Amino acid sequence: MVSAVLHDYGIQTEHSHVRAHVCPVVKRVYVYPTECGVQAIESGHYRRTSGFQKGIEGATAEGFLVPPMDIRNIVALAIADRAWQSIGFRDSDSLGAKGEKAMRLVCQMIKQGLFPVPFVPLAVDDYNMQLDGMDIVISQSAMPMDDIIVQVKCDYAGGEKHLGGTGNLFLQVAERNPLGIC
């Protein structure tokens, strides 16, 4: 028998710097610094709810329902229809297939320079530095290392309500994985 106990696992335990929620129903990818998502769930303003997998008895996840635009520093990216068509998301896809397709889409975005990274621009006002060709210095203040770690989530029906989504993103904080899905 598979245990029905949920374990802490999600946004608060991962080591990512940036999260990307791929939302095929609304054809948007929501990107935000992970720490901003953690701040949203810790604020106490959002409802904690359970998530379920088809064919599995009982909850397989818990998380918070957070309207995308309530997450500080979020960027909502409208992706061209042809990109969604080339990936071929289907509601009937398994969770693993949806996750793999979300990863492929985000990888394509990164390769094409369409993925925002939370840099902080600082305009240089020192005359001598400007003469040396420095007008803007870009800082990675939210990231303590050179590598930027991205967590990709397929939040299939997530996204803004006016676009046809649920009105929220699901920020998971606990799970059990009875099907061994990676």
Q: Which residues contact 143 (CB under 8 A, 6 or more apart)?
A: 17, 118
């520093």: which residue's tokens?
73
Burial, 34: exposed, middle or buried (Cβ in 10 Å; 0-12, 13-18, 19+)?
Answer: buried
Q: Is residue 181 part of a domain?
A: no
pLDDT tens over the chain, length 182 residues? 456 788 999 999 998 889 999 999 999 999 999 999 999 999 999 999 999 888 888 899 999 999 999 999 999 999 999 999 999 999 999 988 999 999 999 999 988 989 887 666 677 787 777 777 777 766 655 555 567 889 999 999 999 999 999 999 999 999 987 666 65
> How many angstroms separate the CA atoms of 103 and 31, rounded?
13
pLDDT the model gives residue 65: 98
Q: Is residue 122 part of a domain?
A: yes
The radius of gyration computed from the CA coordinates of the chain, to the nearest angstrom, equals 18
Q: Is residue 2 part of a domain?
A: no
> Containing domain of residue 165, as a range?
7-175
Q: Is residue 180 part of a domain?
A: no
């996204």: which residue's tokens?
159
Q: Is residue 29 part of a domain?
A: yes
- Give me the number of domains the chain comprises: 1
Q: Is residue 182 part of a domain?
A: no
